[in-house]
Chains A and B, each alone.
Chain A
Amino acid sequence: MDLPFDVVDLGAADHPTEGEQAPDFRRPLVTDEFWEDRALSELTAEGPVLLVFHPMDGAFPATYMYNELRDRAVDGEIRVVGCSVSSPYEHKTLIEDREFDVAVFSDPKNGVAEQYDVVHDLDGMTGVAEPRPAVFVVDEERVVRYAWVAEEWPEFPDYDELEAALDEV
């Protein structure tokens, strides 16, 4: 974005990077039909996964991220799973609205973002934290093959770079 003022700087994050093991976690995973506890490792055992951390469902960056991934048909290239602090009920609405083949982890206590070191404490919402926008391409061995984490608020992934990374897994 080219704005005549500084956007909020989130600073560098100490997140997992290429070649490192992606932290495993288990949370309710919401599909268009139901939700059940699933572990990331169970998903990666079936194939590579694009893990998308996004702001709470309904915030415009979440909508923008999914729309861009949908427009680039990323769901046809890799299994896409999201993660936000929103409840399963909100995830169901999001999945329906975005018309994108995705399942979304519900993590109201933001523990997964803590594990990945991508926490964003929200200004003006006391006691509420969520993940920074972030994308991780994780392979069958649960190794990070590509990582991008927002350092400004808001900031969006470099989708061309992401797509290039997807060609490599």
Chain B
Amino acid sequence: MSQPAITLYRLQACPFCERVVRKLDEYDVAYQSRFVEALHSKRDAVKRVTGSRTVPAIVDGNTGVTMSESGNIVEYLERTYGPSAAGADEDTATAGGS
């Protein structure tokens, strides 16, 4: 079985991470969770990927985007996978227009 294109780095019970999870679920986007250390200084795996040790962080293999901070991520997910995302717009335009 192939892995989902999106990897979410998260910490158990971190509310900012759960916020991102809710958004992914809302848009029905598949993702693979990677749970990391509570101890900030031990999160080198995240730092190697994003340049920072903060979670949540996502790596989106669909778009090549790597991003930290839940506010940014939620905005990105809305823009990329939400109902008014570019792809969704095109579909609507094709279906409804011309």
Contacts and interface: CB of A to CB of B under 8 A. Distances in A.
Residues of A in contact with B, size category = 10 to 19
B35 A33 contact: no
Nearest to A33: B45
Interface residues of B, number: 11
Interface in B30-75: 32-37, 44-45
Given A39-B1, A42-B1, A34 B45 contact: yes
Contacts of B34: 34-36
A35 B45 CA distance: 11
Interface string A74-115: 000000000000001000100000000000000000000000
B35 A36 contact: yes
B35 A35 contact: yes
A28 B10 CA distance: 14
16 contacts: A28-B35, A33-B36, A33-B44, A33-B45, A34-B9, A34-B34, A34-B37, A34-B45, A35-B35, A36-B32, A36-B33, A37-B32, A39-B1, A41-B1, A42-B1, A42-B3
